[in-house]
Amino acid sequence: MRKTNRNLTKLLGAGLLAFSLIFGPVQGAVKAEGTEGISILESSHELINGKMRVTADVRNGGSGKEGGFYVVGYDENGNALEVAGNSEYFMSDEINTYEVDLDGGSSIKRVEVLPAGPAGSEAKLLASGSRTDNGVVKVTGVVQNGTEGRNVGMLAVGYDASGKAVEVTSADGYFTGSEVSTFEVELKAAKLIKTVKVSAIDPVEDAVKLLQTGSRLENGKLIVTGSIQNRKEGGRVGVIVVGSNGSGKVLEVNTTTGYLSGSEIANFAAELEAGKAASNIKVFLTGSSQTPKIIAEGRMTVNNKLVVTIGIENGDTSQRITVKSTAYDAKGRSLGSESNSTFLSAHETTTLRIDYDSRVKSVKLKYYDQSGREIGQMPIRIKLNGQLQSYAQAPVMSGGSVLVPMRAIFESLDASVKWDQKTQTITSVKGSSQIKLKMGSKQAVVNGKNVTLDSAPRMVKGTTMVPLRFVATALGADVKWDSSEKMVHITTK
């Protein structure tokens, strides 16, 4: 939703002004303060046709400039229910009279009219209000732009009683320098929302930004909403929402994409069938990759049938993307392969969903671009105490375990490492801990005790690779796997 003038009416002519001052509305007039030459000479309000009509006389006592004012309507407890504002160019010593209709009507018990202060370098929120009306939360905000014309916006976030963000929405529009105007948006989760926070959005960075996300359960499904802001240059931007369970397994992926103009602010909404099982939500922004990428795969069971969802970001060339799926039964026997494909325009992001019959218990997927080249998935990354690690040989997944270069991981954990070529044995020592592994064997020794590994050490392109979780844990570190980002987090003690 774009900015709106909220029924602001300018009353022209000295006669009308004099009439208003002499025969004012039913409720008494109020003298108000001024700032930087702009002042509120007088204001009053009365209930007309179910709306609270506010009349204000605004004067510019300085040189010609953009002059603004805003109106705030409060309930009996002092909560701001509704706001409205406006501005225009004032000549020196010019006086204008305005009418503002607030939809809150009789629920508004007190009205305040204020002049807008001098504009700064960035947009700012002058005031905001929220009220529940017809099953939705209506949020209004008055924003003043900085001194240069540009696209600015307002972000509204609804929180539940526990302080969790349950819904997010935004609005934007082009403002001239120092302009004051009103935004109005709606939040649908009125039954859940207990508090609303509002902020002004100004494009201070040349990057695609995720402004805020919120999520809530609705009819058994998880509804994820959020707002993004585009870079200064227009282009296609995508959003991929990834829902994982408590152990980090990706259950479901959903996406949306579209063209945004420079600095445009947009809302997105994604629905996840996984519902409350998707206890962890991650959101990825796309639109800048030169080559196609598989961002995430989700796997869940719906009505005893396997459902796979895949988030795909295309590169800078329009093309057809193909997914080859090989299905297996409960005993690991192949049930055959099939291919699914979709055409994507340049930088488009989409979700592919594949529903399998009840015989299928697991699948292996491969992805190909239009030329037949296989598309790699998001690489596995390692963070050690928050620092991203870089290895000559990239980490690989084998038998459910992440394998990393032997010498690099031991040395980064401050452990010694020795390689016995004759016996193909790796020995590492750190303090009182000693580890022994053998190439190709799932049997290891930790401090003299035998341990069975999920995956054996092996060679990958000439590099000795060892199971990361086993090594790090045996040397006293904590290891966590984030499947949605394919990131291993290692924390040393």
Query: For residues 119 and 34, which has the higher predicted lDDT (pLDDT)?
Result: 119
pLDDT band at 33 (very low <50, low <70, confident <90, very high): low
Q: Would strands 250-260 and 396-398 be described as parallel, antiparallel, or unpaired?
A: unpaired
Here the tokens at position 185 are 């948006």
Q: Are residues 280 and 188 in the same domain?
A: no
Q: Are residues 67 and 114 in the same domain?
A: yes
What SS3 state is found at 65?
Answer: strand
Please state which of the ranges 19-33, 73-87, 475-489 shows the lowest mean pLDDT.
Answer: 19-33
Model confidence, pTM: 0.73
What is the tally of helices (H) and strands (E) in the chain?
A: 3, 39
202, 237, 271: which is the final residue of a domain?
202
Q: Are 38 and 90 in contact (CB under 8 A)?
A: yes
Q: Are residues 190 and 212 in the same domain?
A: no
Q: Which range is most confident: 108-122, 154-168, 455-469?
A: 154-168
Residue 447 has pLDDT above 60, yes or no: yes
Q: Are residues 234 and 363 in the same domain?
A: yes
pLDDT band at 9 (very low <50, low <70, confident <90, very high): low
Here the tokens at position 65 are 């400039």
158, 182, 202: which is the final residue of a domain?
202
Instruction: Tell me the pLDDT tens digit for each residue of 275-321.
Output: 999 999 999 998 888 889 898 999 999 999 999 999 999 988 999 99
Instruction: Tell me the pLDDT tens digit for each residue of 339-376.
Output: 988 999 999 999 999 999 999 999 999 999 998 888 87
Residues sharing a CB contact under 8 Å with residue 90, sequence separation 6 or more, in sequence order: 38, 58, 60, 64, 65, 66, 67, 96
State residue 62's pLDDT score.
83
Measured between alpha carbons, how far is 341 from 168 in angstroms, rounded to an integer? 33
Specify the length of the chain in residues: 493
As a whole-number percent, the residues of the chain with pLDDT over 90 amount to 69
Total structural domains in the chain?
A: 3
Q: Are residues 226 and 84 in the same domain?
A: no
DSSP letter at 106 equals G
Instruction: Give me the sign of the Cα torsion angle 372, 463, 290, 227.
Output: positive
Q: Are residues 29 and 162 in the same domain?
A: yes
167, 202, 237: which is the final residue of a domain?
202
State residue 8's pLDDT score.
60
State residue 13's pLDDT score.
40
Q: Are residues 212 and 133 in the same domain?
A: no
Q: Are residues 105 and 82 in the same domain?
A: yes
What SS3 state is found at 470?
Answer: helix
Question: What's the CATH code of the domain at 163?
Answer: 2.60.40.3230
Measured between alpha carbons, how far is 308 from 300 in angstroms, rounded to an integer? 7
> Domain span at residue 213?
205-378
DSSP letter at 374 equals B
Q: Are residues 431 and 371 in the same domain?
A: no
State residue 23's pLDDT score.
34
Q: What is the 3-state secondary structure (H, E, C) of 381-443?
A: EEEECCEECCCCCCCEEECCEEEEEHHHHHHHCCCEEEEECCCCEEEEEECCEEEEEECCCCE
Average pLDDT over residues 146-175: 95
Q: Are residues 216 and 308 in the same domain?
A: yes
Q: Are 437 and 466 in contact (CB under 8 A)?
A: yes
State residue 85's pLDDT score.
94
Q: Are residues 172 and 194 in the same domain?
A: yes
What SS3 state is found at 107?
Answer: helix
State residue 360's pLDDT score.
94
Average pLDDT over residues 59-70: 89
Residue 381 has pLDDT above 90, yes or no: no
Query: For residues 455 and 81, which has the higher predicted lDDT (pLDDT)?
Result: 81
Instruction: Tell me the pLDDT tens digit for each residue of 395-445.
Output: 888 877 899 999 999 999 999 999 998 999 999 999 999 999 999 999 999
Q: Are residues 349 and 428 in the same domain?
A: no
Instruction: Tell me the pLDDT tens digit for each residue of 82-138.
Output: 999 999 999 988 999 999 999 999 999 999 999 998 888 899 999 999 999 999 999
State residue 1's pLDDT score.
40
Measured between alpha carbons, how far is 77 from 304 in angstroms, rounded to an integer? 53
